[in-house]
A and B are shown apart, each in its own frame.
Chain A
Amino acid sequence: MAPAYDVEFVEREERKARFLVRGVTPAFANGIRRAMVADVPTMAIDEVRFIENSSVMFDEQIALRMGLIPLTTPPEGEFVEGDTVTLAIDVEGPGTAYSGDFVSSDELVKPADLNVPIIDLKDGQRLEAEADAAMDRGKSHARHQGGVAVGYRHLQRVEVVGDRDQFEDEEPHIVRGVIEDDGELVPTSEFDHDLTVRYPGKEVRIEDVPNAFVFHVETDGSFSVEELVTRAIDSLEQRARELEDAVQL
């Protein structure tokens, strides 16, 4: 019943990846993209109790900045939506309060980036606060969005159909994404996105490969790209099952 999907990585880093998926419909590809953006729960600060804030910014401005700091999200099953973790910060000026100054009550949830400036403190200014991080989805607020700049393109197949006319103008032929050339995957950045660089003097034809999509996924540091994609697919599957149960006779 379940068709086999063919997944191939073009580029793979901890927070950024590009991979090719074959055998999915455009609707399913978009479903995965949307799930990555809006349906994977992540931790983010959503309530702050200020004990002292004598900095130049208002409490709510600082609370917003704290909320946007990515926090590492614990492995699946450790937390459910609605659970909270407390992070405390206490910094006295002169100096800058960084996201790395947060002390977490749980090892699993801590700032993913330690170098984000929260507020610059002058002589005698102080920031002391307790923040509650909660698990929620990108749907409810952008701070809970784990995927950054998630998108996909069709895989394009390039075919040489002949030689270019001798007196034809040498115009650049710009293509972006990943092309397939005799089964080999080539990111267009390798030839400066210009097909005339890769195939000089040739006439080429480009066509979309049906049902093959190249995803570009980045995360904000809450988890790895792999984790984000598998969790997105799990959430799709879970919702599909819920629907199935709901419409059963």
Chain B
Amino acid sequence: MMVPVRCFTCGNVVGEHWEEFDTRAKEGEEDPQEVLDELGVERYCCRRMLVSHTDLVDVVSPYQ
């Protein structure tokens, strides 16, 4: 639903980078690898948190 606040594996806070990553790499045209490097999300455990995430709030909200 919402982005996890922290990386499941190492506990680093990744939630704060979601919106920038989303606009620049997912919706934008930039290379996800470069965006993650710039955001300082280094380890692959933290990177997969953002790369594999899909926001579902908009999908479930009509069924409240």
Interface residues of chain A, those whose CB is within 8 Å of chain B, are 54, 56-57, 61, 65, 68-70, 99, 113-120, 122, 142, 145, 148-149, 218, 220-221
B interface list, Cβ under 8 A from A: 1-3, 5-6, 10-13, 15-16, 18-19, 43, 55, 57-58, 60-61, 64
> When the two chains form their complex, are residues B12 and A120 in contact, meaning their CB atoms are under 8 A apart?
no
CA gap between A120 and B1 in the complex, in Å: 10
A117 & B18 in contact (Cβ 8 Å cutoff)? yes
Tell whether, in the assembled complex, residue A220 and residue B11 are in contact, meaning their CB atoms are under 8 Å apart: yes
- Chain A residue nearest to B19 (CB atoms) is A117
In the bound complex, CA of A60 to CA of B7 (Å): 19
Q: Contact: A56 with B5, CB < 8 Å? A: no
Once the chains bind, are B13 and A149 in contact (CB under 8 Å)? no
A120 CB contact (under 8 Å) in B5, B10, B11, B55: B55
Q: List 21 A-B contacts (CB under 8 A).
A: A56-B1, A56-B57, A65-B5, A68-B5, A69-B13, A99-B16, A113-B16, A115-B16, A115-B19, A117-B19, A119-B57, A120-B55, A142-B11, A145-B11, A148-B10, A148-B11, A148-B12, A149-B10, A149-B11, A220-B6, A220-B12
